[in-house]
A = this chain, B = another copy of it.
Amino acid sequence: MSRFSFNQATAKYWPLADVVAGCASAGVTNVGLWREPVAEYGLTRSAKLVREAGLSVTSLCRGGFFGADNWLDDNRAALDEAAELGAPALVLVCGGLFGRTLDQARDRVARGLEALAPHALDVGVTLAVEPMHPMFCADRCVVSTLGDALDLALQFPAETVGVVVDTYHVWWDPQLAAQIERARGRIVSVQLCDWVIPLPADTLLGRGHLGDGVIDFPPVVAGVLSAGYTGFVEIEIFNQDVWDAPADQTAATIRQRFASLLA
């Protein structure tokens, strides 16, 4: 449990202050934050709140969207926010096709990382390329496998660009174990949740508590540890039922599953 981190997206409807208070009272010392609730509470105030509660921020979600207007300024701002919160990594959702071919869209991600790398180095925050499930390739992220993400990251120094291993996105990949090994020194965030079938109408929300779906977690976690990952393991669940459940119940389920599946 010492590697456990609670990603606040799992409690979508909690304001930041409730997340921090909830973690503190449950003995959770690490938290993954999102930009929107941080902005709502105020950046400086948020940084102070988590610091005073003794929490470490394990990642900030999210930058990326390299095809959007204003992407450069927005990503620089996100890096600044991550630095102020003490988050080591800014998780990137790299953006979909936006009317381009796949090759063009993937090239745009590389150019985006290039443009952001100097600022990431300046503020000491690693750009964390998150491969997303291929079902999101068209509209959300053209980086579809851990192998793709590494091909991008390895063009940059390790302190500037790394990768995220999120089980929901990569569990199906027959190359996963080999790519995790190849990712040695590049894994900057690990996020766990299960793949529940049938998928809901909104496929972003098909995530479930560990053990409610089909993913075999121990090999993934053993793989990232064996590849030298020394950071935390976030539980990040987007799921309407989880969001609607009482907070205490969610917290208890998360900790119990984490402990029993990964002990």
**A interface with B by C-beta (< 8 Å):** 97, 101-102, 106, 133-135, 137-139, 144-145, 147-148, 171-174, 195, 197-199, 201, 203, 213-214, 216
Contacts and interface: CB of A to CB of B under 8 A. Distances in A.
Contacts of A213: 138
State the main secondary structure of chain A at its contact with B.
loop
A144 B173 CA distance: 8
Contact of A173 (B101, B134, B195): B134
A139 B197 contact: yes
Contact of A174 (B101, B138, B144): B144
A174 B203 contact: no
A214 B138 contact: yes
Contact of A203 (B139, B145, B199, B216): B199
12 contacts: A101-B216, A102-B171, A133-B135, A134-B135, A134-B172, A135-B199, A135-B203, A137-B172, A139-B198, A144-B174, A145-B174, A148-B174
Contacts of A147: 174
A144 to B, nearest CB: 5
Contacts of A203: 135, 199, 203
B133 A195 contact: no
Given A133-B135, A139-B197, 19 more contacts: A101-B216, A102-B171, A102-B172, A102-B216, A134-B134, A134-B135, A134-B172, A135-B135, A137-B171, A138-B172, A138-B197, A139-B198, A144-B173, A144-B174, A145-B174, A147-B174, A148-B174, A201-B201, A203-B203
Contacts of A97: 214
